[in-house]
Amino acid sequence: MAAPRERAGTLAANVRRLREARSLSLQQLADRAGVAKTTLYKIEARRGNPTLDTLAALGAFFAIGLDELVGGEEAAVIDVVRAGTGGIDISGTASRAALLRSMMIGGTLVEVVEAAIHPGLSETAVSHGAGAREHVLVRSGRVIAGPVGHEVELEPGDYATYASDRPHRWGNGGSEDAVIWVVHTFPRGGDGA
């Protein structure tokens, strides 16, 4: 088991890395996560003793578990399941981009989108808000998807998921249309707002 000083150093490094990856100041993180700026300063300075409520608020904001927040291993920026390895069977083609479904599940808004991406095109988004995620499933063609600087190339049947609360993009560097399904999840809080 890690010593308290070592855990404090790991927590400090993880909070700073996660905050900087989203280009947030301490004040911006404090406002968005509901944690006092002085508490965040003490965490990043390896001082103080954060409460479980503080750690839970940070974990919820960054959409990671407490073990990842205080643990020594960095969480993957993007998770990929290659075709044939995840038991996913997809078939058929699509010819248009459309929002297929939008629904509230508990406190999370879920949108399912089907999109055709023409060769040479890409789209970059800044952020979909705290805790948002994208789940991308390639139906046909090749796409590049993921957080800016961590994009991966995906082929038919490949799946990737990543936090979309930071700059991210989809693109098609191939020579034919690519068709993808994207499931967006947006936490909205317990009141469904």
CA dihedral (29, 32, 33, 34) positive or negative: positive
State the Cα–Cα distance between residues 41 and 184, nearest whole angstrom: 32
Report the pLDDT value the prediction gives residue 96, as an integer from 0 to 100. Answer: 46
Of the candidates 153, 156, 151, 109, which has an alpha carbon nearest to the alpha carbon of residue 133?
A: 109
Measured N-to-C along each axis, helices 26-33 and 52-62 cross at an angle, to the nearest 10 degrees, of: 100
Class of domain 78-187: mainly beta
Report the pLDDT value the prediction gives residue 50, as an integer from 0 to 100. Answer: 92
Question: Do residues 104 and 34 make contact, with C-beta atoms less than 8 angstroms apart?
Answer: no
DSSP H/E element including 55: helix 52-62
Report the pLDDT value the prediction gives residue 184, as an integer from 0 to 100. Answer: 87
Report the pLDDT value the prediction gives residue 185, as an integer from 0 to 100. Answer: 87
What one-letter code names the amino acid at 190? G
Can you tell me whether residue 188 is helix, strand or coil?
coil
Question: pTM of the prediction?
Answer: 0.55
Question: Do residues 45 and 13 make contact, with C-beta atoms less than 8 angstroms apart?
Answer: no
Spell 72-100 as b/e; 16+ CB within 10 A means b.
Answer: eeebebbebbebeeeeeeeeeebeeeeee
> The domain at 4-70 falls in which architecture?
Orthogonal Bundle (1.10)
Where in the sequence of the chain do the CATH 1.10.260.40 domains occur?
4-70
Residues with pLDDT less than 70, the chain:
1-4, 72-79, 83-100, 189-193
Report the pLDDT value the prediction gives residue 105, as an integer from 0 to 100. Answer: 72
Where in the sequence of the chain do the CATH 2.60.120.10 domains occur?
78-187
- The residues facing 80 across adjacent strands are 160
Furthest CA-CA distance within the chain: 57
Instruction: Report the length, in residues, of the chain.
Output: 193
